A and B are shown apart, each in its own frame.
Chain A
Amino acid sequence: MKKYFNITFILAGIFLLSSCSDFLDIDSKEKIEAEDSEENYTPEQFVNGIYGMFTDWDYAFSFLAVTEIISDNADKGSSPSDSGADKNLFDELTFTSTAGSLSAMWSRWYKTIGRATQAIEYAESYGLTDEAYKNRLIGESKFLRAVCYFWLVRGWGDVTLQHIDNTNRASKEEVYAFIEQDLTEAMQVLPASYNSANLGRATKGAAHGLLSKVYLYQGKWQQAYDAATAVINSSEYNYSLLDDYSMIWRVEGENSSESLFEIQARGESIAHGVQQYSQTQGARGTTGWGWGFNTPSENLLTAFNDEGDEIRRDATIIFRNSTLYDGYVVGNTENPMYNYKAYSSANKGADDTDKNIRYLRLGEIYLIQAEAANELGRTSEALAALNTIRDRVNLPAVRTTDQAELRRAVWKERRLELAFEHDRWFDLVRTGQAREAMAADNKTFVIGKHELFPIPNQQLIDTPEMTQNPNW
């Protein structure tokens, strides 16, 4: 009997004594916990993470809708029954605040801003001893943050500044001021160039060039002119136009002397590019290699033809049954035209392609200079800049000295030079050509409404106090 009591004693002992907190404190094996980050992650990795955001799938689909399909340059493409979730609504200019493409980009840009802000804070607190390196990382982050705010302010006007508030929309002017501040600060710390291993990071020239564009969009002609001129003339940056326009968007033209900033992409294993960017815009049909979205419009084709602009037309548009520069026979595709600038010879329909997206290049800086100079009355400088661009593609020089006429000439040049470079819609709105251009493309642009995108419905559900844009 004694034995039995022993057992009960042991049981009772276990009851009372066993300490469970050690037993229950189990460390995560699958994911690295944030508290362990300092020993595992460098600030540079978080900066890389901001760049990485520009390779997100949204840039291959939603981005096309809100920058190109919506405009007169592009149609939805693909099969009539394949709406691409809401791409048809952008093509018809009938989208509403519930359109998924809008909330995707709105959110994507804010999340990128969030990554940039976090990376800046991490770099500042990590204890880097190399001041220049630390400042460079912060500068890169600020540049990328400015890129996103620039899209937001152009799309929605007054938007929230994430570091201040998620509900109250800061005025357009405040947002632009923040962008200018980020770019100016970035310029002070970014190098003009990188060693070979770091090619592709944001440079001082990229920040400077973007600043000129930011001024342009605000009509700050003098600053735009100054910045553009400085970029063009800078021996530090040492940019120059490529001789052959058609090379700009090919592999050979990647990170060329004309390029200020590109989204980097690699197609071969281990591959990483803008996810499916070439696939969604690839030709559709049995002989095609993609989904066939974001196709050049008849309107754009006409614009090229009217100008006699064969070089840029044939570098921008893939035609059905044509043969591409690499010898690929396009065949009888579903749509008559596709976006040549999204074409990757090596990785046609692959998820990851080698297609660098040219975000900002010297060609545009010339046109900024031209436009700003014209507004400032520096007609001859404007003509010189404009004709530099035209001369490259064998178009006759523009000779008008009439300010209004020259203004229109620059706008037209922007369209043809920068087609499918994701700026057309913002340009149309900025220059006030939108209603007229949309009408020519059989769409109804409502003045006082369509200048701005609607705040996404989900955002208003989450933050009901936020105001909607007019007439949405």
Chain B
Amino acid sequence: MKLKIATVISFLFCSILLSAQQITVSGTVKEGATGEPAIGVTVLVKGTSNGTVTDMDGNYSLPNVPNDATLVFSYIGMQTLEEPVNGRTTINVTLSEDVQALEEVVVIGYGTARKIDLTGSIASVGEDIISRQPALNPLQSAQGKISGVNIVNNDAPGSAPTVVIRGLGTALGGRDPLYIVDGFPVTDIRNISASDIVSMDVLKDAASASIYGVRAANGVILITTKKGQSGKPKVGVESYVGVKNILNKVQMANAQQYIEHYNQNQSMLATPIQLQNASSQPYNTDWYDELIRPGVVTNNLVSVTGGGENVRYYVSYNYYDEDGLLDNQNYRRSTIRNNNEYSFFDNRLKLNQTLNLSFSNEVKKPFGAFNEAYRQSPLVPVHYNNGKWGRPFVNTTTGIVNYEGAPGDVIGSLNSIGNPVYNVAQNNERESVITLQGGFEGEFKITDFLKVNSRFGGTKYYNKNRQFSDIKDGWLSADPARTEAEFLALKEANPTVTSYAVNSLRLKDIETFRWTWEGFATFNKSFNRHNVEAVLGLSREKYGIGYESTLRGYEVPQKPQYWNLSMVSGDYETEVAQFGYTPTAIASYFGRLQYNFDHRYYISAVLRRDGASTFKQNKDYWGTFPSVGLGWTISQEEFMNDVAFIDHLKLKGTWGELGNHNIPLNVSQILTDPGSANMNYVFGAEQNLVYGARFGTPAMDLSWEVTREWGFGVDYTFMNQRLSGSLDYYNKTNTNAILLINPVLNSTFEGQFYDHGAKVRNAGIEFSIGWSDQLANGLTYEIGANYSYNKNQVLEVRDTYNGAIGGSLADGQISKRLQDGQPLYAWWMFEADGVWQTQEEIDNANAVYGTAQPGQLKYKDQNGDGLIDDRDKIYLGSYLPSSNYAVHLNLEYKNFDFGIDGYGVAGNKVYNGLKYGRINGGENIAYETYRNRWTGAGSTNIHPGPNRAPIASSYYLESGAFFRINNITLGYTFNDLVAQGTSLRLYTTAQNPFMFTKYSGFTPEISSDGNPSLTPGIELSAYPTTRNFLFGINLQF
């Protein structure tokens, strides 16, 4: 391969050397529509920088043109024209208007539409954008490309980003947008190769999304995969390789700083332990160096497309392989796609078939290791010199961090943090996923204005997870002094206790299926200047058909080849848990009417009626979701004809209703549990387990969440399509958000229950602007920016439903609360109010929390009652950013292309859970924490000393604002290398090369699973944001 490229390149050079005679070419360029001279048209010798522009009369003259060259005439808003010179010295051309930009077509669900004909807000991300920011998941590539769509990336291999469209509108319902791939709803798009995607269209507003009714409240993302292109087979090869590293590494305290911090903390205690200086300590470990390695990612794709009049095909194979930052952490995926299109009867009947197979294998590693690497003392080794695993033992008699000592020495522990390297090494978990996804669609044109479509598609999903735990090794590694004989003795003494089984093996299987059938008819006709399109259809769908089973056995042979449950020792009971999922069925009818007069006045209306089996409890299955949209293209009005600089200007207004049926299961239940739960008990002389039961809290009649949205906006294109963009306002209210309610404390009902209890409003603006132009020397450039602002607010919470808590910090402390008037699960904690300087100050204080010590944080007594308790906690903002913004610049010059993308968020707060923690002085700290700490009366009134108490407070809450350069790409394209139409692009990309943030942890971008009541915005064991350098080639022939 390399040889070939070299040959090609040398061939290229030769051809330049052999170039022919040079002449001067001149002529006139006219505009096709008007016949007027075209001013400022770039005239360029193809493949060179030799060029000029036309003057006021449309004339040009270009010297040094090889007589066999090709001239390229280009102008923004005009179609580019290529004209072979063929020895001519005068070449006059006429350029026709390029309407393509305004002809851009978007997918709207059950059809397509010209972008300029939309009344709603639909944003598209094309394959050029997806390919420019290579990622496993195409949504990752789209971060910052669409205003109003907040994509929170997660850089763990195989992970999916969190996507929030126009603000988070639900507390407990499904939060994901609805994904529709080639017409079929899917749960997840990780099984699709990004290179197979032509476009992603995001239905942002209610009027656009309401065609998907009860599932559209979180927005809809329509994904279209590549179709066959008729013609000779075209082969595409895409490959890249990249290296990933941590973008934002936190500088930790070194061994000596740790010791100083530790000793200062100990000196506050009754019986202090004092560590000796670092020079006397046997070990010095940089845990992050030990834990983290550069991740390597490779991606290879081959695709072939071609076909004739009746059959067109697209086939691709993609292999993606990524090593994570942790040892052995790996995700690999193969996908095979085959999309075929068949036409019969003069294109009256079209059949479309899509098929995607995906196989992924993942070696999982515990992300808790990032937390442990932060906290574990640098004095603790990965391994002791004798090869045993390092643990935080300290000889408290000598002050040396080791697990051994002279007889009589007391061995204690610095902290209770594990050895992260061990935890990564011993974690043995694999997950393989197979997804088969495909569909079949027939489209029949009854007349030239009426067609019917019918499609059926399904997804079969298999997930197998295997986890092996070496219990004995875990027990031995917990203390280097332990011996195998001790373990065996314990095992002997406790023959049925599984914590002394040698190992355990857990196998988990999930199998699901979903199918969809849809049929719809489309009427499309224009008469005079009236344009009408109407769609009427129905669909049936069932998903979540399947089961899950978990098997756990003890004591299988140590070698992986024997990890079958038939190999268990038989000394322990093999545990089996299996259950079938309750499927969800959805039946729907939908219709859409779009009308415009002369592409000037627009009205569209959508009505969808959905029935979902989720609402069995009250048998109220059906919901109706209407919407309307209005548009006025001002630029089409006659009075605007004279305003030359406006190409397109349109006002739009929409109103619509959407549903979220993805609500928690609400069936009044009897609860039982097969394990050690609080309805079971033991009776009898043998104390045999007896199973009990309890009544669950009676289910409330839950209905879908109904979101109402209205908005208006303007789309504009000015100055010969150089300047374009849009401005939108929206106001979207989930009118009956479901909350998880704690029953009144002294009532009968013990389980939390779900009920509609509040409104959640998201209101904001979205603004985007872009400028593109071409300079005389052939440089084309495009610069763009977008900004969106969203205000999230919980309103009208029902009495007694306020105050659901969340944001557990895993130590009994909580950090979030749901409250009327605040954003969803806003931060809620004590307000830090300086540092206690002296015992005297504490003794004389009006209000003290618990038993404070000098050097600990003071908290504000907000209600002035002389006590510090929950009533003094205040709301401190949200983890949800209020602002998202992005900028990008793209340059093309000759065969070079260059792009840079930046993305940022503002208005959010992040809880630095790493800095916080149960610090007893024995856990490591960041260098900044060490440097800033309180060291005695008067040293600082901001930062606590080493003996801080683990109480959630505003001290640990930091601004989560950041601006990050997401992508810098430089590429070079060789055209027509071997034959006409072939191209080879080489590029190099830096992903996330720089980030600007004041946040002191690893990453302010923390979504976890996106559930607002859990840990989003809390950095406890988040996977760090990575910086990636990629090199890639794209070849087409």
Interface residues of A (CB under 8 A from B): 4, 7-8, 11, 14-15, 18, 20-21, 23-35, 37, 40-41, 45-53, 55-57, 79-85, 88-89, 92, 94, 96-100, 103, 106-107, 110-111, 113-115, 117-118, 159-160, 162, 166, 196-201, 255, 264-273, 275, 285-286, 332, 346-347, 350-352, 354, 456-459, 461-463
Contacts and interface: CB of A to CB of B under 8 A. Distances in A.
Given A264-B683, A286-B411, A11 B746 contact: no
B746 A52 contact: no
B692 A45 contact: yes
Contacts of B579: 29-30
B279 to A, nearest CB: 26
- Which 6 residue pairs are nearest across A and B when measured between Cβ atoms? A48-B692, A114-B748, A49-B692, A98-B870, A85-B812, A111-B750
A110 B745 contact: yes
B949 A81 contact: yes
8 contacts: A24-B616, A28-B667, A30-B579, A45-B692, A55-B681, A81-B949, A114-B749, A456-B745
Nearest to B744: A462
Given A4-B444, A96-B867, A458-B745, A351 B676 contact: yes
A82 B746 contact: no
Contacts of B665: 28, 30-31
A48 B919 contact: no
B678 A98 contact: no
B270 to A, nearest CB: 8
Interface in B893-922: 918-920
Contacts, number: 270
Given A81-B920, A84-B812, A89-B850, 6 more contacts: A32-B670, A48-B683, A98-B870, A114-B749, A162-B748, A272-B676
Interface in B663-685: 665, 667-672, 676-685
A162 B749 CA distance: 11
Interface in B629-668: 665, 667-668
A28 B582 CA distance: 5
A199 B818 CA distance: 46
B446 interface: yes
Interface string B923-951: 00000000000000000000000010110
B745 A88 contact: no
A107 B745 contact: yes
B694 A49 contact: yes
Contact of B695 (A34, A89, A267, A270): A34
Given A23-B587, A24-B612, A33-B668, A46 B693 contact: yes
Interface string B685-705: 101111111111010000000
B679 A53 contact: yes
Interface string B743-764: 0111111100000000000000
A82 B918 contact: yes
Contacts of B677: 52
A117 B745 contact: no
B986 interface: no
A190 to B, nearest CB: 15
Contacts of A463: 744, 746, 800
Contact of B871 (A34, A266, A457): A457
A199 B412 CA distance: 44
A29 B667 CA distance: 11
A11 B519 contact: yes
Contacts of B613: 23-26
A11 B517 CA distance: 12
B347 to A, nearest CB: 15
Interface residues of B, number: 90
Contacts of A48: 679-681, 683, 690-693
A201 B690 CA distance: 12
Interface stretch (B174-182, B298-306, B491-499, B502-510): B491-499
A92 B851 contact: yes
Interface in B566-610: 572-573, 579-587, 589
Contacts of B572: 269
Contacts of B919: 81
A79 B921 CA distance: 12
B541 to A, nearest CB: 10
Contacts of A11: 452, 454, 519, 521
B683 A198 contact: yes
A450 to B, nearest CB: 14
B582 A52 contact: no
A199 B612 contact: no
Contacts of B668: 33-35
A101 to B, nearest CB: 10
B683 A98 contact: no
B866 to A, nearest CB: 10
Given A21-B621, A24-B585, A107-B746, A332 B410 contact: yes
Nearest to B580: A29
Contacts of B540: 23
Best-buried of B269, B681, B800 by chain A (most CB within 10 Å): B681
Nearest to B669: A31
Nearest to B615: A24
Nearest to B812: A85
Given A31-B669, A200-B682, A88 B850 contact: yes
B621 A26 contact: no
B747 A25 contact: no
B393 interface: yes
Nearest to B850: A88
B952 to A, nearest CB: 11
A200 B684 contact: yes
A114 B750 contact: yes
Contact of A197 (B393, B584, B688): B688
Contact of B393 (A27, A82, A94, A286): A286
A120 to B, nearest CB: 12
Nearest to B349: A4
Given A26-B584, A45-B691, A32 B678 contact: no
Contacts of A264: 681-683, 687
B572 to A, nearest CB: 7
Interface string B529-541: 0000000001010
A243 B683 CA distance: 25
B423 interface: no
B413 interface: yes
- Of the listed residues A7, A20, A351, A458, the one surrounded by the most CB atoms of chain B closer than 10 A to its CB is A20
Given A41-B670, A92-B850, A197-B688, A461 B800 contact: yes
A347 B803 CA distance: 39
Contacts of B684: 196-200
B802 interface: yes
Contacts of A30: 579-582, 665
A8 B444 CA distance: 11
B1016 interface: no
Contacts of B694: 46, 49, 52, 115, 118
Contact of A40 (B670, B682, B744): B670
Nearest to B498: A269
Contact of A52 (B538, B573, B585, B678): B678
Looking at B616, B682, B851, which has the most chain A CB atoms within 10 Å of its CB?
A: B682
Contacts of B958: none
B869 interface: yes
Nearest to B676: A272
Nearest to B848: A94
Contacts of A350: 497, 499
A272 B680 contact: yes
B167 interface: no
B411 A29 contact: no
A24 B618 CA distance: 12
A118 B697 CA distance: 12
B138 interface: no
A270 B446 CA distance: 68
A198 B584 CA distance: 43
Given A23-B540, A88-B851, A7 B444 contact: yes
The winner among B393, B616, B692 for most chain A CB atoms within 10 A is B692
